[in-house]
Amino acid sequence: MLRHLRTHNRTIMAVGGTLLLVSWALGGALSSLSSNAASRGAGWATVGASSKKLTADDLASIQEEMAVIEALGDPLLNQIGASDDPSHWYLLSREATDAGLVGGLGDGRLRAEEIAMAINVQNKTQGSTQPDIDGTFVVRAIMSKSRASERGILNTLSKVNGVHRLNELYSSMPRFSDSRLRVAASKALSSVACDVVALDARTLALPEIPEPSETELQAQLAKYGEKKPNEGEFGFGYRLPDRVKVEWIEIPIANVRAAIEGSNALDSITLKKRFAENPAKFGVTDASLDALALFPVYESTVRQRVLDELVAERMNEITKFASDQLALAQRGLPKDGGFFRLPEDWSTRKPNLQTLCDQIGEQFAIAAPFYGSTGGQWNSSADLKTLREIGTASTTKFGANALTFTQLIERTKELGQGSDTTPIQKDVVGPPLTATSKSVFFFRVTDVDPSRAPTSAAEAGDTLKRDVIAEDRYAALKQAEADLLNLARTEGIRALADRYGAKVEFAPRVAETNPQMLAYGIKMAASLPGVGANDAAVRTVIDLASKLPLDKPIADVPEADRTFLFPLDDKLIMVAVRITDVTPLTLEDFQMTISNPRAKDGLLDATFKTAVSELLSFESLKKRHNFHLIREKDEEEPKTEGDADKSAAPKA
């Protein structure tokens, strides 16, 4: 045996060593594969009468659907609380599937088309000039937000359709009477035509109100200084937004183009050479033709194409040169995450952008780039967005999705929004930005003022004083409410409008909802002239109109009896209306409305919706489907006596 081992020693060592190396190399991989397999097979929940086990793989699939749902923003799922809970969504879609209410990919496409139609109707209702969209546009928009595949989106949309059908099925249960629907439909779809005068205390010059005292201004500032605009009562709020001071340089593409056009880079010999190298590039489809003979015909095309290429190349060279010059000053600086730790003398060491403009001009023989700055003025991101070209310039340095100049400013570290993935910081030049004109910009934040309450009435600006005056003016209008109504009824609402410098506007259809939007289950009240979208104002007008006599035409009712005045305290507006017509809901319109399950669901009040929502709540679904999270089940499972004894026993 020993002789055999000595004879074959080298062979045994070679084979044995190889096996050891393979074992060592595969050990980690096999362990990883085993771990991943165990993780994927790990239990997440149990469901059904047989307590079927759901794994982490099942949860991962549901999470992909949740990304689509988050991008979709479906009102029904938001209402019942399933838009951000994977367990709730799983049970909802399971119940819809078990009921045979979920279709295939075609059903998902149908849902996408319905969403597109609803958006188009809403845009037209609001007077938008945006072109109509289709289901493909909707799917692509969801893909952009959710990163899901088209097939995954369509599958999820088909499940959403199924859940809507499930909701409609429960909504059509017989315990909800036809009379209830008639009342709801009559209230929502009856409409009123009227003349409107909005006495807005914020915009009127009358009644005259004395200038507020410093004490009043300080009191107003103390009350609403920490509130953002439109966040406080009456929309008051004076908190200052994040603000910055910025400087930048602009490398205009026009300067580069002019420099190349004035050089010998576009002489005939160069152009002929470029054309001969690749005639097909310039539109020559027949390779057998003599390229040089054809050159005169294509010369202008070649010149423009070559010029564009040379300009793009030169812009890239300039951008790289500028980036390299800026990087020189930062070389060797320590970093904390993605941000530089700037030395105390950085103010003297940091690159001078005006000097960089001169360097670029000299290096590339072009007119020097422009230097720009906000100077000593603080600017919010909204202010910066209006800057010429740079305001909308962007970069893809930090990912496939382009980030604009203002988005980068908002992520400045010193504003508290810093991120290692987009390391923008004060006194460090950001990445090059490209404008729509293809001009290139470099920018630097020179100072920051994070969002805060104003320290004085002067810093809050004129808005503070205007709001105090508006509140006092509204109080004066309310005090004179009886006189205002009397004026409107005796002399007409036009006389009221003339006295206060307001205007009379006609509202042809004031209703609690738009029938076109109701067809998609959405209640959206009409806007009231001078007031805007305000459900309370619309309901008040409809309620006032409902009190008018029904036995004669509205025109036969004395004008004074159909003229009303009511306050909108939250808007600081007194509203005068003169009813000119009332259009009740017809039987035909009612029957057409309730034939659409979504419209019927949209009509029913909160009590009904609460009942259906309870039926589709997570707790109700958990009980019906015997659903338990495994972690939750383990925590609830009582210990046996043996377990208790073991846990109580002292350790050896």
Weakest-pLDDT range from 127-136, 306-315, 401-410, 618-627:
127-136
Q: What is the mean pLDDT of residues 126-141?
A: 84
Count of domains for the chain: 4
Q: What is the pLDDT of residue 642?
A: 46
Indicate whether 323 and 351 sit together in one domain.
yes
Q: Tens digits of per-residue pLDDT, 452-486?
A: 999 999 999 999 999 999 999 999 999 999 999 99
Average pLDDT, the chain: 83
Q: What is the mean pLDDT of residues 268-295?
A: 74
Has residue 455 been placed in a domain?
A: no
pLDDT at residue 140 greater than cutoff 80: yes
Q: What is the mean pLDDT of residues 203-229?
A: 93
Has residue 213 been placed in a domain?
A: no
Q: What is the pLDDT of residue 647?
A: 39
pLDDT at residue 74 greater than cutoff 80: yes
Q: What is the pLDDT of residue 512?
A: 80
pLDDT grade for 266, boundaries at 50, 70 and 90: confident
Q: What is the pLDDT of residue 19?
A: 35
Judged by DSSP in three states, 574 sits in strand
Q: Residues 612, 616, 620, 624: what is their CA dihedral angle, to the nearest 10 degrees?
A: 120
Q: What is the pLDDT of residue 562?
A: 94
**Contact in structure between 273 and 441 (CB atoms under 8 Å):** no
Has residue 161 been placed in a domain?
A: yes
Has residue 95 been placed in a domain?
A: yes
Give the span between the Cα atoms of 45 and 622, in whole angstroms.
11
| Residue entry with tokens 């999705």 | 401
pLDDT at residue 173 greater than cutoff 70: no
Indicate whether 570 and 421 sit together in one domain.
no
Indicate whether 256 and 358 sit together in one domain.
yes
Judged by DSSP in three states, 10 sits in helix
User: At how many degrees (to 10) do helices 105-125 and 135-146 cross?
Assistant: 100
pLDDT grade for 31, boundaries at 50, 70 and 90: very low
Give the span between the Cα atoms of 179 and 189, in whole angstroms.
15
Indicate whether 31 and 91 sit together in one domain.
no
Weakest-pLDDT range from 98-107, 110-119, 579-588:
579-588
Give the span between the Cα atoms of 307 and 312, in whole angstroms.
9
Domain that residue 194 falls in:
184-207+480-584
Has residue 381 been placed in a domain?
A: yes
Has residue 465 been placed in a domain?
A: no
Give the span between the Cα atoms of 554 and 211, in whole angstroms.
45
Has residue 343 been placed in a domain?
A: yes
**Contact in structure between 409 and 445 (CB atoms under 8 Å):** yes
pLDDT grade for 557, boundaries at 50, 70 and 90: very high
Q: What is the mean pLDDT of residues 97-106?
A: 87
Q: What is the pLDDT of residue 609?
A: 52
Indicate whether 125 and 192 sit together in one domain.
no
Indicate whether 199 and 164 sit together in one domain.
no
Percent of the chain with pLDDT over 90: 44
Has residue 471 been placed in a domain?
A: no
Give the span between the Cα atoms of 135 and 116, in whole angstroms.
6
Indicate whether 362 and 511 sit together in one domain.
no
Which residues share a beta bridge with 452? 240
Q: What is the pLDDT of residue 377?
A: 94
Indicate whether 172 and 190 sit together in one domain.
no
Question: Residue 318, CB half-sphere, CA atoms under 13 Å: how many?
Answer: 35
- Looking at residue 263, the DSSP 8-state letter turns out to be S
Indicate whether 108 and 201 sit together in one domain.
no
Which string of DSSP letters, residue by residue, matches 510-535? E-SS-HHHHTTT---PPEETTTEE-H
Q: What is the pLDDT of residue 604?
A: 61
Indicate whether 70 and 141 sit together in one domain.
yes
Q: Tens digits of per-residue pLDDT, 405-423?
A: 999 999 999 998 878 788 9
- Looking at residue 196, the DSSP 8-state letter turns out to be E
Indicate whether 442 and 526 sit together in one domain.
no
Indicate whether 25 and 160 sit together in one domain.
no
Burial of 61 (0-12, 13-18, 19+ CB in 10 A): middle
